[in-house]
Chain A
């Protein structure tokens, strides 16, 4: 789309459109971390290290995709971590306790997640309540429901699940990813397609850009808002399924605080918390940056894992300031 570029370009565009700046900054940061890690630690430059970031964070990636939809409309979904935990719990108890077949369990869990999201979205829209408080209630509800199933961790021994947990999708050259990574990437691609090429995607951006103006343009604001929470609920449930492949257990204390990791990934990926601006690619990079911080801390060896939180905190500050600067210059 050469017409989109400013006039007077020579070879490369002279000026990058401002809306891409946050994503590019995150991409640059990711590249810089890779290079720095490769120089500092032996064995870091191995491609499998990057792929392991995907393997270890596939579930977070899926959850963050759903969160991206919600944040793009200017909302927030605090319930995702609890829905992930609830999904692992339901999966484990049905598989291990009741001997359900794996496909039926997965379908049921996804339906429950989507239904929870739908219910929260409907409450947010029809009663005009802030998403923060509705999804906070959803967070407590889903977390509490975990303990009605059981207070202990429930192991998963189902053949399909253990097979999926142990399968390596070989990429050649000794590199591999887990099936979860494949699922996560499919979700990312599908979501990116929906966001950028469908009416629903347009409506998401328009609602985030200004709900009143979207309403006055005749856009289906109600349907859009309910849809994004449904998508987020679905993604959380899918993230929960992927997490149960990874953990091979269901537990009420799984994914504690994951909602905050997902929000952090989305924001670090350059999506405006006020909505209307951001890209899924940014969210993917945001998840990778978070994962890579953990990897670097573990390579460092002597640092406590709490340093991960410190770096994430500092990064979040930096990115929110960046967003502020960009939107201030825009005004």
Chain B
């Protein structure tokens, strides 16, 4: 009988309105590296949060057995006490504190209530040696790179006598050297008897390092594969990850594609927090009038970063590349420039970045296009009211009136307000980032209809989406992005979920 250190049985976790996990099973053998794969939103991170007690016992259904004992973790402290440590994608370090202080944060080496600095720094140095981190323990975490910060997290886990280490996308933000070092380190930890669960989008890493892999799709376990006995290839994993049903959730769309309207060439963007890292790397895209173009990519591929850096450099540093509008080169330095050149960008986080939630519909609708409604600074409020009422009718925004506060509307209606706002600026190119995120099925259909209408009016629409069926159902052409590079361009008739997922995970075709 196989010796399992962890068994999760029948895990079901519900959020208001959404079943994030449904009857998920996960069994991890002692001393192995176990990978978890799945699309964006499949439920991987939720499962790990259930396991590590971020979602406490009782907020989900199902059983967790760790090391033979049934667990009911009430919080992270409980799970860490049992030896389960999770390292999140966004590292949880205090940047101003030293490496040693971070390693022992919440677990200080103290004598009679006072920190024993000798012991702290001494033990930190030993842990740092174990993870291959050659730095002074008193160096501030903000002064070392992300790759090394990741190692600090692992050293911190080791200081807690970790037995099951969970890493959520550990290499997503790392360069190749740092990634290779991290994977070596994980192999070393496995040899010391520490079990690892690793969530990763990088399938080449998964096949290289994992002993077994569990695939999750739409909140359910699809299968668990053993690398040693099953013949596991990247293709095999991809076919498990995709394969979501394509249903008739999309309005018919007859494209009438015209001239090229926007061309982006050699677009390169560096991360503002790690200036050496390219978030977008020599990406080139073309959009034509009347065309709906998809941009597919997994988390961290650089989709939003690409869109925002084009839209008035609202993201990134050291942005370089060329933009052509209607064949002529243009400069876009600010959002005003972008709007002036006929660009619009509807953000993926509409609540935080797309709307003024405490204001009403008409003022949100008019916000970006206000120059059109104002003369010498004075707003023509009659006209504003008329325009907003017009959008309420044409976009079917369900609200008692245009003076209703936007924060109270449903997600679908909020998105219609965002779209109205941009349509008022009469854009030639609309970039819609996750336009149907958090929107129910009926409203999604309405949003798709609006997108079709926008294209029908001769505008180009670039849709960024994590849902492959959505891109396949909506777009005339789809670009794939992987680690900041455009890795493929697939026409509607050639596009399948498998093909796209290949390009999204593999790199250059």
Q: How far is the CA of A277 from the CA of B371 in the complex (A)?
A: 22
Query: Is A330 in contact with B352, judged by CB distance below 8 angstroms?
Result: no
Given contacts A19-B405, A213-B353, A215-B314, are A206 and B359 in contact (CB under 8 A)?
yes
Stretch from B71-79, B97-105, B138-146, B333-341 contacting the other chain: B333-341
Does B400 have its Cβ within 8 Å of any Cβ on chain A? yes
Cβ-defined contact, A3 with B370, below 8 A? no
| Cα–Cα, bound, A220→B312 (Å) | 13
Pick from A197, A214, A217, A219: contact of B378, CB under 8 Å: A197
Interface residues of B in 377-400 (CB under 8 A from A): 377-379, 381, 385, 389, 400
Contact B403 A205 (CB under 8 A): no
Q: Which residues 355-381 of B have a CB within 8 angstroms of A?
A: 355-359, 363, 366-368, 370-371, 374, 377-379, 381
From A4, A19, A272, B401 is in contact (CB under 8 Å) with A4
Query: Does A6 touch B at the CB level, under 8 Å?
Result: yes
- A199, B345: Cβ atoms closer than 8 Å: no
Asked if A209 contacts B359 (CB within 8 A), the reply is yes
Q: Is the CB of B403 within 8 A of A218?
A: no
A217 with B402, Cβ < 8 A, contacts A197-B378, A205-B356 known: no
Interchain CB contact under 8 A, A213 and B403: no
**B469 partner residues in chain A, CB cutoff 8 A:** none
Give the residues in chain A near B385, CB-CB below 8 Å: 1
Q: Given the interface contacts A213-B353, A217-B421, A218-B335, does A199 sit within 8 Å of B370 by beta carbon?
A: yes
Contact B358 A19 (CB under 8 A): yes
Q: Does A216 contact B (CB under 8 A)?
A: yes
B residues less than 8 Å from A157 (CB atoms): none
Which of chain B's residues have a CB closer than 8 A to the CB of A4?
Answer: 401-403
| Most chain B CB inside 10 Å of its own CB: which residue of A18, A209, A212, A277 | A209
Binary contact readout B417-439 vs A (1 if CB under 8 angstroms, 0 otherwise): 00001000100000000000000
Known: A3-B401, A210-B356. A202 touches B370 (CB 8 A): yes
| Given A19-B358, A202-B370, A277-B358, A210 contacting B401 (CB threshold 8 A) | no
Asked if A276 is an interface residue, CB under 8 A from chain B, the answer is yes
What per-residue 1/0 map shows which CB atoms of A303-331 lie under 8 Å from chain B? 00000000000000000000000000010
Q: State the Cβ distance, A189 to closest chain B Cβ, in Å.
A: 15
* Distance between Cα atoms of A257 and B367 in the complex (Å): 37
Residue numbers in B under 8 Å from A198 (CB-CB)? 374, 377-379
Could you tell me the distance in whole angstroms from the C-beta of B160 to the nearest C-beta in chain A?
A: 35
Query: Given contacts A213-B352, A217-B421, A276-B359, are A197 and B403 in contact (CB under 8 A)?
Result: no
Contact in complex: A7, B400 (CB < 8 Å): yes
Give min CB distance, B502 to chain A, whole Å: 33
Give chain B residues whose Cβ lies under 8 Å from the Cβ of A219.
Answer: 367-368, 370
Interface footprint category on B = 35 or more
Q: Which residues of B contact A209 (CB under 8 A)?
A: 356-359
By beta carbon, the residue of chain B nearest A193 is: B378
- The distance from the CB of B408 to the nearest CB of chain A, in whole angstroms, is 8
Report how many A-B pairs have Cβ atoms within 8 Å. 99
Q: Is A17 an interface residue (CB 8 A)?
A: yes
Verify B354–A216 contact, CB threshold 8 A.
yes
Minimum CB–CB distance for A278 against chain B, Å: 10
A200 at the A/B interface (Cβ < 8 Å)? yes
- With an 8 Å Cβ cutoff, the count of chain A residues facing the other chain is 32
Query: Which of A205, A215, A216 is within 8 Å of B359, CB to CB?
Result: A205
Contact string against B for A residues 1-22, beta-carbon threshold 8 Å, 1 for contact and 0 otherwise: 1011111000000000111000
A276 to B357, CA, bound (A): 9
B335 touches A215 (CB 8 A): yes
Tell me the nearest residue of chain A to B425, going by C-beta: A218
Q: Would you call A210 and B353 a contact (CB within 8 A)?
A: yes
Write out the residue numbers on chain A whose beta carbons fall within 8 Å of the beta carbon of B377: 198-200
A19 to B312, CA, bound (A): 33
CB of B407 closer than 8 Å to a CB of A: yes
Interface residue? B413 (CB, 8 A): no
Cβ-based interface call for B347 (8 A): yes
183-204 of chain A: CB within 8 A of chain B: 197-202
Known contacts: A3-B402, A197-B381, A202-B379. The answer to whether A213 contacts B355 by CB under 8 A is: yes
- In this complex, the member of A202, A212, A215 whose beta carbon has the largest number of chain B beta carbons within 10 angstroms is A202
Chain A nearest CB: distance from B425 CB in Å?
8
Cβ-defined contact, A17 with B379, below 8 A = no
In this complex, which of A198, A199, A213 has the most chain B Cβ atoms within 10 angstroms of its Cβ?
A: A213
Chain B residues, Cβ within 8 Å of A19: 358, 405
**Residues in A neighbouring B401, C-beta threshold 8 A:** 3-5
Most B-side CB within 10 Å, residue of A4, A199, A218 = A218
CB distance from A176 to the nearest CB of B (A): 35
Kindly name the residue among B314, B338, B356, B367 whose own CB sees the greatest number of chain A CB atoms within 10 A.
B356
CA gap between A272 and B336 in the complex, in Å = 28
Provide the bound-state CA to CA distance between A200 and B377, in Å: 7
CB-nearest residue of chain A to B389: A3
Within 8 Å CB of B389, what residues of A?
3
Chain A positions 21 through 47: 1 when the CB is less than 8 Å from some CB of chain B, otherwise 0: 000000000000000000000000000
Contacts of B400 in A (CB 8 A): 6-7
Task: Find A218's partner among B312, B347, B381, B402 (CB 8 Å cutoff).
Answer: B312
User: In the complex, which residues of chain B have a beta carbon less than 8 angstroms from the beta carbon of A213?
Assistant: 347, 352-356
Chain A residues with CB below 8 A from B366, complex form = 202
Q: Which of B312, B338, B353 has the most CB of A within 10 A?
A: B353
- The reply to whether B356 and A3 form a contact with Cβ atoms under 8 Å apart is no
Given known pairs A205-B359, A276-B356, A277-B358, the reply for A218 and B405 (CB within 8 Å) is no
Q: Which of chain A's residues has its CB closest to B368's CB?
A: A217
Closest chain B CB from A118 CB (angstroms): 18
Q: In angstroms, how far is the closest chain B Cβ from the Cβ of A6?
A: 5
Given contacts A3-B402, A202-B367, A205-B363, contact A212 B379 (CB under 8 A): no
On whether the beta carbons of A212 and B352 are closer than 8 Å, the reply is yes
- Complex Cα distance, B201 from A320, in Å, reads 46
Contact among A18, A199, A210 with B379 in the assembled complex (CB-CB below 8 Å) = A199
* The one of B345, B358, B368, B425 that contacts A276, using a Cβ cutoff of 8 Å: B358
The 8 closest A-B pairs by CB, nearest first: A209-B356, A4-B403, A218-B335, A217-B368, A218-B339, A3-B401, A217-B367, A213-B353
Q: Would you mind naming 20 contact pairs between A and B with Cβ atoms under 8 Å apart?
A: A17-B405, A18-B405, A19-B405, A197-B379, A198-B379, A201-B379, A202-B366, A205-B359, A206-B356, A206-B367, A210-B357, A213-B347, A213-B352, A216-B311, A217-B367, A218-B335, A220-B336, A277-B359, A330-B358, A330-B405
Other A-B pairs beyond A17-B403, A212-B353, A276-B358, 8, CB < 8 Å: A6-B400, A19-B405, A199-B379, A206-B367, A215-B335, A217-B368, A220-B336, A276-B356
